[in-house]
Structure 1
């Protein structure tokens, strides 16, 4: 890898192109969305499919067998041309894990240009564990043993924040109002309508205390990135591209490894003693350390807002504020556009819904547009550093730091 700017060797990779298929319920297969996003990303990069040396697909478990081999599925749909093929699955962290795989291939010299693609065609309603009865599946156990479907799990999380930190229903509603206002400015979002706190409060209770408008929907959609080594980027004429500086995919760490209990919580914190550093906080910390930045350096953050309460938890886990002060940060307007650290300028999952393998890639798309200054009415002034954070199943999580 060539030296970067005379500052020695780096592990940066350039984001040459980004593309998305708008989120919604379109009634087509995931391949359609992924191919559209891939072609948009290639056009944005000024490259053709034959310029790509490797393709990494983020898998979907709801797309039949082609979804389990997404890399090859997308390669076939784009046209066989000899590219290296990889398929990656990490549930909601699949996209960022795919970015990590692509970055490793670039930095190792296996490929100059890698196309990363994720797409999903989601069923109506909340997600169920795939494959029928699976007593070795922590999600299946959570659903069947505890009755904790995803909305119920989100509700328990919200109740904990209310009990421990004093968060209120108004605080949760404020998150939705903020994100919906930003989603209304995003042409790729599924929901492009501002809402009021009163509308949130009047929506149906799904899992007390959370209302319908506190919880993200399931959606169809796709996103793609064209990544390249810095030398290739410069030869291609990209003198100052957005760069991915760090990708964290660390697992939880526990004081004792003696216990061998089933993990029945999707953030992997149910088995054994509490970790020395909470899982999501450890993901962010590893990303900051690798990137050589801290929370105070951030211009914006894209976080995994499955529910309004969970967005508040991310504020603390990313170090944007001290523990228990997330609602205060929100109330002060610090996480709104124009605030000290805008969060979910894309509109977040509140405005997009979940298209699982695509969502971490969509977050990096948003960071890229913001860092380029191409985000239109939702632009963060002078954006230079951004972080995207996501959480998957069974100890999978991710954080991506991008800068310019």
Structure 2
């Protein structure tokens, strides 16, 4: 298909709390991706950096920051910020440059050095930012936000804290097999239940940590891949970055101070479902074609929502699907075979890039003990702040 671009290389820096700057992590991930691709740094004609506003000026100009760290060689640069969707939008930017003929080879890098504890708004006061207002005026940090979604599932569908705990158990088992994960020990449901309550009904082990980490991809045109003798490369076939339709149709905290005029008729689906649908439509596939999925388990309850939103089951059926083992390694459609954010924690600009790194490894058959047999099609999905979201479809 004319919209395909090749994934020639994928590289990561292990997640954790390493006490170094995001540039160091990004440089290491970039070198790993270049080595994996067999591409020399001078061959890269564009660098797209996923921004991290916590990194100060170097973070705001992440593309140029990583190009400088690797050594000035004349490549064009771009920088993208979209909260948790930053990495996917950076991939979309790289893909657009390749398809437009502006560059044959593009390096995408996302890296972060995250603070401890709950994320707080960065960059000073932002009274025109509804997410800043949610933090500062309502006192609703992200775990509180996740807790509301969990309570909603319990009220609507009968989900239980025990269901949520099973998500952590599943993802921890996969993360124990991933050398890049921060947490590499199996977890039991009893350990989840015994962990501290953070935002009722979610406990400490239901919520992902904040982490340092980095991920990078080398993308190219299909023509370049053929010239380099790469047969049947993993291909990015679709990137969805759609925004919500108004009015909002799911329970959420209000966007204080936003225009209440109706822009379009209400959507019959959630914002997350619309992200996935747009990716499926562009790729010409459906959820029945999936071999695996990487979704944002910011909390255990949110992973269950993603099962429904990417079409693995109907509304309210996420916990039932989980209990069948369908989304575990060895199941019908493994979800978060990487271990997910439960095992990695959040390194915001790197997360969506890391999801595609996992798809690339799985579709190449190089995921080791985590390998999904016969993997051919994968999707990533996430939702960021301020209406950002993304989904990427990769095929082989």
Does residue 237 (structure 1) correspond to residue 229 (structure 2)? The answer is yes
**8 Å Cα contact 1:12-1:243 kept in structure 2:** yes
Asked whether the equivalents of residues 54 and 123 of structure 2 are also in contact (C-alpha less than 8 Å), the reply is no
Matched residue, 2:311: 319
Q: Which residue of 144, 151, 171 corresponds with 1:152?
A: 144
Say if 2:53 and 2:123, in contact at 8 Å, map to a contact too.
no
1:73 aligns with 2:65: yes
1:214 to 180, 201, 206: 206
Task: Return the offset for 1:264.
Answer: 5.3
The answer (yes or no) to whether the contact 1:255–1:276 under 8 Å persists in 2 is no
1:307 to 276, 299, 305: 299
**Alignment root-mean-square deviation, CA:** 1.7
Aligned pair in 2 of structure 1 residues 15, 164: CA closer, same or farther (>3 Å)?
same
Residue from 119, 136, 161 that aligns with 2:128: 136
In structure 1, the residue corresponding to 2:183 is in which secondary structure?
coil
1:274–1:205 distance in 2 versus 1, CA, 3 Å: farther
**More off after superposition, 128-137 vs 170-179:** 128-137
Q: Does the CA contact (< 8 Å) of 1:254 and 1:276 recur in 2?
A: no
TM-score by length of 2: 0.96
Is the CA contact 2:295–2:306 (under 8 Å) kept in the aligned structure 1?
Answer: yes
Unpaired runs of 5+ residues, structure 2, are none
Matched, 1:48 2:67: no
Count of aligned residue pairs for this structure pair: 389
**Compared with structure 1, are the counterparts of its residues 206 and 298 closer, same or farther at alpha carbon in structure 2 (3 Å cutoff)?**
same
* Cα gap change, 1:23 to 1:255, in 2 (>3 Å): closer
Partner of 2:343: 351
Q: 1:276 Cα deviation (Å)?
A: 3.4
Matched residue SS, 1:246: strand
- Measure, in 2, the Cα distance between the counterparts of 1:375 and 1:284: 24
Match status 1:403 vs 2:395: yes
Could you list the per-position Cα deviations for residues 33-56 of structure 1 after superposition, in whole angstroms to 9, with x for gaps in the alignment?
000000000000000110001000
Q: In the aligned structure 1, how far is the partner of 2:146 from the partner of 2:239? A: 26
Q: Which residue of 1 aligns with 2:218?
A: 226
Q: Say yes or no: does 1:60 pair with 2:60.
A: no
TM-score (norm 1): 0.94
- Output the CA distance in 2 between the equivalents of 1:79 and 1:59: 19
Gaps of 5+ in 1: 1-8
The aligned counterpart of 1:378 is 370
Q: Give, in whole Å, the separation in 2 of the partners of 1:263 and 1:73.
A: 33
